[in-house]
Amino acid sequence: MNAHPIYEILPAWSRKICPYPPGKPIEEVERELGRTAIKLASNENPLGPSPKAVEAIRRCLDRIHLYPDGNGYYLRRRLAEIHGLDLEQVILGAGSTDLIELASKTFLTPGDEGITSESAFYIYRLAIEEMGGTLIQVPMRRMTFDLAAIARAVSPRTKIIYLGNPNNPTGTCFTAAELDSFLERLPARVLVVLDEAYYEYVGRPGYSHSIEYVRQGRNVLVLRTFSKVHGLAGLRIGYGLGHPELIECLNRIRSPFNANSVAQAAALAALDDREHVARSVELNAQEMKFVTEELTLLGVRYQPSVGNFLLVDTGRDCEEDFMRLLHEGIIVRPMKLYGFPTSLRVTIGRHEENEQFLAALRRIASAPVPATSA
Ligand SMILES: Cc1ncc(COP(=O)(O)O)c(C=O)c1O
């Protein structure tokens, strides 16, 4: 395949890129198995979106022949209001992954260095690599970002640092105080992309005061998403908060209609359904407790998580366990790509989904590996 002349014009760095493997779609698994399946693979909200968001989606369907508001005025205005910021400090994205990539596209040229951690969310590394940037991956410490080691890895060529807080797939986080001292050590020009996709789930005192950095005009781009607690992953909408000059730079490169009209309307409605958010967070906390207690009883190791997912170490080959669970109609994620060859990442679902997962996990511990793909 690589003999095709198209590869002659593909930049050298793109030839080395391994694309992000998305979670297996539930439709595909159900088709292959001929029965219903459950998806605990991509850290979505098992309660789905707020009914208010669904209603807002219905209301805007007769206008989808029109281009969206490329400025995302109403949603940005509401986000600015909620965070106590100005409109010029808010940018929308087609999910936060769009903004993770936009940060690299805006600032990196081939040979510039981008830093992240080993076992960090895979899109950080892709964002650096796809611009021909030099990827520096710093080993983790106690399964989380080693901020001191990252600060030491900064060189005159470093332009951007990606931090996931909490990180996916480890579910670990660092504190606001730790991040404060890290930022103090960084040269002012370096941009820190602070991905807080699971922000609402954390609920730990001292976890984050990221909006303060934005108010202080620091080179920090705070990213949040509507894909997780707000249950709108399929619509692709997220946002970034940063100082006005940073947002202005990003807007130069941003695709003008990157946030679609249906997503903007749904997100606006979702923001104001605090009850749905609270219910989702509460369910996650309850079920996280249930799943971790059951795993402990089963003697299965896991990494304690502040998110809505768990890194579970079965001690067996994760690809094989993934296939076995798939045969049981349960979709999880094997974590070899992240450097955990015997671990699966499992999203915390509704109670009955979690029970099904745990029951299947018990069964596969003694079952033979299936021969077919699903
Ligand atoms: C740490 C982290 N950041 C960002 C994302 C992407 O979210 P979005 O759907 O907003 O692109 C995910 C999704 O799994 C994630 O785990």
**Does some domain include residue 10?**
no
Are residues 36 and 143 both part of a single domain? no
Q: What is the pLDDT of residue 349?
A: 98
**Does some domain include residue 7?**
no
What is the helix (H) or strand (E) element at residue 96, kind and residue range? helix 96-107
Name the pLDDT band for 266 (thresholds 50, 70, 90): very high
Among 219, 222, 201, 203, residue whose Cα is nearest residue 211: 222
Name the pLDDT band for 373 (thresholds 50, 70, 90): very low
Task: Using the structure block, give the residue that is written with the tokens 């990157």.
Answer: 258
Ligand 1 atom nearest to 96, measured from its CA: 10
Are residues 200 and 59 both part of a single domain? yes
d(Cα 361, Cα 61) in Å, to the nearest integer?
42
- The verdict on the CB of residue 126 being under 6 Å from ligand 1 is no
pLDDT in tens, 138-170: 999 999 999 999 999 999 999 999 999 999 999
pLDDT at 20 over 90: no
Q: What is the pLDDT of residue 372?
A: 47
- Across the range 1-20, mean pLDDT stands at 89
Are residues 251 and 165 both part of a single domain? yes
pLDDT in tens, 295-315: 999 999 999 999 999 999 999
pLDDT at 6 over 70: yes
Ligand 1: residue whose CA is nearest its atom 1: 168
- The verdict on the CB of residue 119 being under 6 Å from ligand 1 is no
CB 231 within 8 A of CB 204: no
Are residues 260 and 198 both part of a single domain? yes
- The verdict on the CB of residue 267 being under 6 Å from ligand 1 is no
Residue 23 backbone dihedrals phi, psi, to 5 degrees: -60, 150
What percentage of the chain reaches a pLDDT higher than 70?
A: 97
- Across the range 195-210, mean pLDDT stands at 97
- Across the range 16-41, mean pLDDT stands at 88
d(Cα 76, Cα 189) in Å, to the nearest integer?
26
Are residues 180 and 87 both part of a single domain? yes
- The verdict on the CB of residue 308 being under 6 Å from ligand 1 is no
By most ligand atoms within 8 Å of CB, the mutation choice from 20, 97, 167 for ligand 1 is: 97
Q: Which domain holds residue 338?
A: 22-48+275-364
Tokens of 297: 């009883």
Are residues 81 and 163 both part of a single domain? yes
- The verdict on the CB of residue 45 being under 6 Å from ligand 1 is no
- Cα of 32 vs centre of ligand 1, distance in Å, is 27
Q: Which of 222, 256, 272 is the endpoint of a domain?
A: 272
**Does some domain include residue 62?**
yes
CB 102 within 8 A of CB 254: yes
Q: Which of 245, 272, 299 is the endpoint of a domain?
A: 272
- Cα of 226 vs centre of ligand 1, distance in Å, is 9
Ligand 1 atom nearest to 169, measured from its CA: 16
pLDDT in tens, 315-356: 999 999 999 999 999 999 999 999 999 999 999 999 999 999
- The verdict on the CB of residue 227 being under 6 Å from ligand 1 is yes
pLDDT at 368 over 90: no
Are residues 44 and 73 both part of a single domain? no
Angstrom CA distances, 130 to 110, 125, 153, 197, stand at 9, 9, 21, 22
Q: Give the number of C-alpha atoms closer than 13 A to the C-alpha of residue 181, restricted to the C-beta side.
A: 9
Task: Using the structure block, give the residue that is written with the tokens 């996280």.
Answer: 288
Ligand 1 atom nearest to 164, measured from its CA: 1
Q: What is the pTM assigned to this prediction? A: 0.96
Q: Alpha carbon 195 to chain centroid distance?
A: 8
- The verdict on the CB of residue 95 being under 6 Å from ligand 1 is yes
Q: What is the pLDDT of residue 371?
A: 53
- Cα of 63 vs centre of ligand 1, distance in Å, is 28
- The verdict on the CB of residue 121 being under 6 Å from ligand 1 is yes
d(Cα 191, Cα 48) in Å, to the nearest integer?
34
What is the helix (H) or strand (E) element at residue 344, kind and residue range? strand 343-347
- The verdict on the CB of residue 43 being under 6 Å from ligand 1 is yes
CATH at residue 355: 3.90.1150.10
pLDDT at 258 over 80: yes
- Cα of 197 vs centre of ligand 1, distance in Å, is 6
Are residues 243 and 103 both part of a single domain? yes
Among 321, 316, 330, residue whose Cα is nearest residue 370: 321
Name the pLDDT band for 369 (thresholds 50, 70, 90): low
Using CB atoms within 10 A of its CB, is residue 365 exposed (0-12), middle (13-18) or buried (19+)?
A: middle
Q: Which of 272, 291, 319 is the endpoint of a domain?
A: 272
- The verdict on the CB of residue 72 being under 6 Å from ligand 1 is no
Are residues 80 and 207 both part of a single domain? yes
Look at the chain and report how many structural domains it folds into: 2
Q: What is the pLDDT of residue 21?
A: 80
CATH at residue 135: 3.40.640.10
Q: What is the pLDDT of residue 366?
A: 74
Are residues 203 and 156 both part of a single domain? yes
Are residues 234 and 137 both part of a single domain? yes
By most ligand atoms within 8 Å of CB, the mutation choice from 122, 225, 260, 346 for ligand 1 is: 225
Are residues 208 and 341 both part of a single domain? no
- Cα of 223 vs centre of ligand 1, distance in Å, is 9
**Does some domain include residue 217?**
yes
- Cα of 156 vs centre of ligand 1, distance in Å, is 29
197 SS3 class: coil
